[in-house]
Amino acid sequence: MNPQSQPSADAPGAVFAALADPTRRAVVRALASQPTTTASALAEELPITRQAISKHLATLAAAGLVSGAREGRETRYRLTPAPLDDAMQWMASVGAQWDDRLARLRRHVELP
């Protein structure tokens, strides 16, 4: 199996870190609204420079949220949502653990 296809133990952490920045969240929203786009097109859409967009895309790519493919002189970027699913599953798992803990506490407190 390709090591890059296996999620790292802290894959949700990388996703959360990447999405902590509001500009990167705006880039993800923009990418979600179209199949592919370029850094230049994103810079026209968002109030930041193409160089800043490129840095944000690199951070998103490191977290596995974005992939790029060269087409001629440009790189076209697309959203890769699988890491978002992994992060959501992690949140659901942690939420379920807290639900269980709170239910046990409630039963303990409500004992007659």
- Residue-wise over 19-56: b if at least 16 C-beta within 10 A, else e? beeeebebbbebbeeeeebbbebbbebbeeeeebbbeb
Domain of 57, in residue numbers: 10-109
| Residue 23's CATH number | 1.10.10.10
Residue 1 lies in a domain: no
Residue 25 lies in a domain: yes
Residue 4 lies in a domain: no
State the CB neighbour count (10 A cutoff) for residue 63.
22
CA 27, 33, 37: angle at the middle one, nearest 5? 65
| pLDDT score for 106 | 78
| pLDDT score for 96 | 66
Residue 80 lies in a domain: yes
Residue 3 lies in a domain: no
Average predicted confidence (pLDDT) for the chain: 83
Residue 62 lies in a domain: yes
Residue 5 lies in a domain: no
- How many domains does the chain divide into? 1
**Tens digits of residue pLDDT in 19-58:** 999 999 999 999 999 999 999 999 999 999 999 999 999 9
